[in-house]
Chain A
Amino acid sequence: MRIGDLLLMSISSLWKRKVRTVLTVLGVVIGTASIVVMVSLGLGLNRSTMQNIEENGGLTSIQVWESGNFDSETSDKDRKRLDDELVKTIAANPHVELVSPVLSISVLAKCGAYENNLDIRGMSGEALARMNFPLASGEVPLAEDTLAFLYGNQILAGFMNSRTGSGYWMDGTIPDIDLQNDAIFIIYDMDSYYNSQGNQGGSGAGAAAVKPPKKYIAQCAGVIDGGLETYKSYSWSVYCNIVPMEAHLKRIFRGKAIPGQPLTATGKPYKEIYYNEIYVEADDMEHVAEVQKWITDMGYQTSSNTEWVDSTKKQYGYIQAVLGGIGAVSLIVAAIGITNTMMMSIYERTKEIGVMKVIGCDMRDIRSLFLLEAGFIGLIGGLVGIGFSFLISLVINRIVAGMGMEMTLSYIPAWLAGASVVFAVFVGMASGFFPALRAMRLSPLAAIRRG
């Protein structure tokens, strides 16, 4: 028989028994929907966590620090510092997509009566662009000839009025500062600053008067979006391009040690600037652990989110399996329903099957007819079930959103939708297998017997 004729015949025989077909399909709909919804919960949880991880430093990024443990015998020469050489070495690794040195320094920012201690992080323009900061205003400081700052979204909240002592965290008053446009002054030389402050406040006895350090006006590149309350890994930082930052610091601290930089045995600063941290992006999540180990083996300290990711994955894998198992029970019930329906159908059609055999229908075609019927029940059930699942998923996510949680609890990716339809068809055919065999083996004599 031709495929088209087989399909038509099986559809028309389902159509002939509409009510029973619909009821059987309904079972498959419920079965498919419960599996899909259950699995989608596991996937949704997993995805929300992954997004969370990504916002907290990404899935592929690695932080590199100097190794902290040195005993007294470690000579200064052996000490592994973060320098340009290391940056080059790491960049040469084929699994590394991006490397940027990170130079950080603590400074004091002043704007009118407001003061704030800022942590400035200088990184390469490439790395800054890669971080994908959501911007409230301005732009990412990519220019290498001027020093400009990108403020984290919670920086504004950190400014305190030095006269009244009030601040956002104290009494909720939002500082009257426009980070983008107001003139903000930065004091880099904190030691000198506090020394001079101490002089003014003290009785003047003893130490010679210390001149307060120079203030530099800060140029603002942009402000990161997110509001004063949302915390992300970047919320408290001020970012700038490392090239102008290095130049600027060298100018300010000419002949002196830049704060945070190591000193020689004789207390002199080195010529080269050493970094506080190196930021590395691997090309793929799969390679993070490998790259990380490679760097650790060179004698540095590293950190990434791989372990977090791995444990999360494992955990949600279990949850998914359990939820899917619960859903599977209802599909098994549906499968039994299909088998039952097909059996009934064969009993009813004993004579018809016999006639078909007598007038020349292959055994294989009879089997195919029944398998197709069962497969159709699975297919229709699967398709409707998927539609139903999307509906349930929507409702669940609405409810979750209504409770004020910022996540999609139920997530149905395309592969899940596709796989569940295929699975439903498979279950249908598997349920129809024994009935189909039975139909195939029915005696053609049934056609001749009366009644």
Chain B
Amino acid sequence: MKKDKTVITVSDLYKIYRVGETKVRALNGVDFSINRGEFCSIVGASGSGKSTLLNMLAGLEKPTKGEIVIAGEHMEKKSENGLVRFRQAHIGFIFQSFNLMDTMNAIENVALPLTFQGMDRRTRTRKAEQMLDMVGLTKYKKHKPTQMSGGQQQRVGVARALVVEPEIIFADEPTGNLDSRTSREVMELMQRVVREKKQTLIMVTHDNELAGFADRIFHIRDGKILKIEEKT
């Protein structure tokens, strides 16, 4: 039953961008697997291919070559609509620049993925409020993004990613726009929530200290995995 624990399997993954005459090997042969409930962080220098890897795992980009199997399904074989449906069911995403809707308040923002799924207003509002309570924004439910601090906005972002109860959460430098204290707070929040619900979290970061929150740290250089650091 070991296989059952694996939630992501990546094998022989390549991503090659053509810019004019030159080829950019953003990912140059990557193999790894991640277990259910694991918290992994990806670190590396700028331009090493961290975002490219994450985007491909989330199905936002197609690999040039290789396989990505998530929850038993081949991501590289899915149509764009199939990917949308897969993301609705399995994936949450946390952005560096929060990417909240300016015209909507916190509840509406958190409920948005549920709206896309066609859930009725009452249920989705209830779920969104629960999520906001959990991330500690009980007082800010009716606030619009412009009326909140960066840390508060990212908490809304975390709540929005978690509201659909996804198996896997991707986060590309989720604290990149926050100061170090707020970053720690958000990290602790994410770690706590993910542990409680046994969700898998994969996070890209520059910050070695924040990477230390993870169970495993993937070091990437020039599109290849340099080493995988296990924390005990």
By a beta-carbon cutoff of 8 Å, the part of chain A in contact with chain B is: 1-2, 5, 12-13, 16, 351-352, 355-365, 443-445, 447-448, 450
Contacts and interface: CB of A to CB of B under 8 A. Distances in A.
Given A2-B118, A16-B103, A448 B87 contact: no
Contacts of A352: 101
Interface in B144-163: 160-161
Given A355-B95, A444-B60, A362 B116 contact: yes
B24 interface: no
30 contacts: A1-B115, A2-B115, A2-B118, A5-B115, A5-B118, A13-B103, A351-B99, A352-B101, A355-B99, A356-B112, A358-B60, A358-B87, A358-B93, A359-B87, A359-B93, A359-B113, A359-B160, A360-B88, A360-B164, A361-B84, A362-B84, A363-B84, A364-B81, A365-B116, A445-B55, A445-B60, A447-B95, A448-B60, A448-B96, A450-B96
A448 B160 contact: no
Contacts of A362: 81, 84-85, 116
Contact of A360 (B60, B61, B87, B121): B87
A6 B84 CA distance: 17
A1 B116 contact: yes
Contacts of A13: 103
B117 interface: yes
B58 interface: yes
Contact of A358 (B51, B58, B117): B58
A372 to B, nearest CB: 15
A355 B160 CA distance: 12
Q: How large is the interface on B (under 10, 10 to 19, 20 to 34, 35 or more residues)?
A: 20 to 34
Given A362-B85, A448-B60, 12 more contacts: A1-B116, A5-B118, A357-B84, A358-B93, A359-B112, A359-B161, A360-B87, A362-B81, A363-B81, A363-B84, A445-B55, A448-B51
Contacts of B160: 359
A360 B81 contact: no
Nearest to A444: B60
B172 interface: yes
Contacts of A355: 95, 99, 101
Nearest to B117: A360
B185 interface: no
A360 B55 contact: no
A13 B55 CA distance: 28
B80 A363 contact: yes
Contact of A359 (B96, B103, B116): B116
B55 A448 contact: yes
B230 interface: no
Interface string B117-129: 1101100000000
A450 B177 CA distance: 11
B97 interface: yes
Contacts of A450: 96-97
Given A16-B103, A351-B99, A447-B95, A1 B118 contact: yes
Contacts of B115: 1-2, 5
- Which of A2, A12, A360, A450 neighbours the largest number of chain B CB atoms within 10 Å of its CB? A360
Contacts of A357: 84
B60 to A, nearest CB: 5
A365 B115 CA distance: 11
A447 B99 contact: yes
B73 to A, nearest CB: 16
